[in-house]
Amino acid sequence: MILLLVFFALFIYFVLNYDADLTTLIYEKYGKDLNGFYKDKVVWITGASSGIGKAVAIEAAKNGAKVVISARRKNLLEEVRDVCVSSGCPDENILVLPLDVCDSTALEPAFQKVLQTFGCINVLLLNAGRSQRARWEHTDIQVDKDMFELNVFSVINLSRIVLKNMLEKKSGHIAVMSSVAGKLGAPLSGSYSGSKHAIQGYFESLRNEKVGSGVNITMLCPGPVVSGALQVAATEEPSTPYGQSMTDADKRMTAERCATLSLVAIANSLPESWICFKPVLPFMYAFQYMPSVAKWLSQKFMSSKSMEKMRGSKNTMATEKNE
SS3 state at 64: coil
For domain 17-317, say whether CATH 3.40.50.720 is its number. Answer: yes
**C-alpha distances in Å from residue 103, one per residue of 100, 107, 110, 157, 206:** 6, 7, 11, 10, 23
Residue 285 · residue 102 · CB < 8 Å: no
The region, left, alpha or beta by phi > 0 then psi within -120 to 50, assigned to residue 119 is left
By annotation, the residues acting in catalysis are 192
- The tens-digit pLDDT sequence of the chain (323 residues) is 676 666 556 667 666 778 899 999 999 999 999 999 999 999 999 999 999 999 999 999 999 999 999 999 999 999 999 999 998 999 999 999 999 999 999 999 999 999 999 999 999 999 999 999 999 999 999 999 999 999 999 999 999 999 999 999 999 999 999 999 999 888 899 999 999 999 999 999 999 999 999 999 999 999 999 888 888 999 999 989 898 877 656 778 999 999 999 999 999 999 999 999 878 888 888 888 888 988 887 777 665 565 555 555 454 444 444 44
Its pTM stands at: 0.91
Could you tell me the residue ranges of all domains in the chain? 17-317
Closest alpha carbon to 239 in 147, 317, 151, 308: 147
